[in-house]
Amino acid sequence: MRREFTNGRNLCHPGVTRFATNFLSLQSFVLMKNELRQMFRLETGSLSTWIDKDQGNSFKKTKSVGRIAMTVAVNVSRFEAITMAPPDPILGISEAFKADTDAKKLNLGVGAYRTEELQPYVLNVVKKAEKLMLDKGENKEYLPIEGLAAFNKVTADLLFGSENPLIKQQKIATVQGLSGTGSLRLAAALIERYFPGAKVLISSPSWGNHKNIFNDARVPWSEYRYYDPKTVGLDFEGMVADIKEAPEGSFVLLHGCAHNPTGIDPTPDQWEKIADVIQEKNHIPFFDVAYQGFASGSLDADAASVRLFAARGTELLVAQSYSKNLGLYAERIGAINVVCTSADAAARVKSQLKRIARPMHSNPPIHGARIVANIVGDPTLFNEWKVEMEMMAGRIKNVRQKLFDSLSAKDKSGKDWSFILKQIGMFSFTGLSRAQSDNMSNKWHVYMTKDGRISLAGLSLAKCEYLADAIMDSYHNWQFILSSMSSYWQ
């Protein structure tokens, strides 16, 4: 497009030509914006310009004598003030792994189960449950806001025990959520609305999304001590002290089993003492249960901490997820459970959870809920599931043992690596620093989170020797380099 500007003679300003050539490129236009403004502030005699609306010319009509200012309409985005968000740390690891072409590469960042061949695994029992669903020809109608009734029943039974009097007395409000994240988010909204100003205590460290969830719900939080880097174990005394010092009536976020990211759980005796302190301070325990049955291979053992608090008559919240133990990562299936002191209170809490869910996601998806209901509700499928869970948990235990054996055999420094065997679940805190973790990725093509966490579910027995070599180099050699550099700069 080209427009000639007339002032008694034909004139094609070279800057106008350049602008016209790039007119269709918004990026070029924005870059030239300031130059254009100066270019059109011309001292001329008489000048008339016009706009041809049909052709979409962006020169507005301006008539003047003497000093002329020709105006250009600039299409600046209304979203100009929105900055680029930082990449998600876990998903960023996966992207870096995909871009790496080295044959020895390992992705130990994402918490997803892999086979010994390091391939995704769909449980056989899930395939059977899905076939049953197809054979029944069930429809895809909307679920109620609280979710599938059959799912809500079996998920509460699974967590608290089917014979638990709390269930029979209808003192538990259960609402289906969008996996663990969505269930936590529903609970966070409930806290913000009905416990204004109450603080949530989060372990240090914790799953990276915990803080995001409470920030988004505008719920204040603080951290309590959990991980002791000196022992690569639990800082139990620090944990108890911080819970004691928290304002009365705080919510204490606890990992039911297989703490993420450390893999470090309290012992049964320590759980009893934690419960004592929480009751003394009139706090409200808030459990995140993402690995029931997947941590130890036993559904009952992995729910012991939750059942301990419930048996004491404590009101509590529990978010559940079936991403790991049934491999339903993409189905987004979970639940939020609120244990109350009366059936009336539970009914009111459930009504408000539904009220919160309605504008948030309206109602949850049905496919994953039916899978869980069919498996847990059918004795044959349920037993098959337990066998598969034991197999998955067993493979991770074998990998954990093999890694420990490899590290112990290779390390001649006398360092004790037994903390790896004391951890449980799919994750292990290696004790590696950020710089050492970077060395793992940059030199050895082992991708992991920068806090030193690795996912043993993404490791095979065949790769344990290679991983041990990478850890040895990163821990000892890189530690020596850092120490030398520190001494040099001093």
Catalytic residue, chosen from 199, 324, 350, 402, is 324
Rounded Cα gap, residues 282 and 279, in angstroms: 5
* Residue 207 falls in the annotated catalytic set: yes
Q: Is residue 192 within 8 Å of 360, Cβ to Cβ? A: no
Rounded Cα gap, residues 338 and 227, in angstroms: 28
* Residue 288 falls in the annotated catalytic set: yes
Q: Is residue 248 within 8 Å of 413, Cβ to Cβ? A: no
Rounded Cα gap, residues 245 and 46, in angstroms: 79
Residues β-bridged to residue 6: 10, 48
Rounded Cα gap, residues 256 and 296, in angstroms: 12
Q: Which two tokens stand for residue 113?
A: 């189960």
Catalytic residue, chosen from 128, 171, 207, 221, is 207
Catalytic residue, chosen from 288, 302, 385, 478, is 288
Distances, alpha carbon 199 to alpha carbons 216, 221, 224, 251, 345, in Å = 14, 5, 12, 6, 22
Q: How many helices and strands in the chain, by DSSP H and E? A: 20, 17
What DSSP assignment string belongs to 263-281? Answer: -----HHHHHHHHHHHHHT
* Residue 271 falls in the annotated catalytic set: no
Q: Would you call 380 helix, strand, or coil by DSSP?
A: helix
To which residue do tokens 């007119």 refer? 23
Amino acid present at 308: L
106 sits in the region (left: phi over 0; alpha: psi -120 to 50; else beta) called: beta
Which residue numbers are catalytic?
207, 288, 324
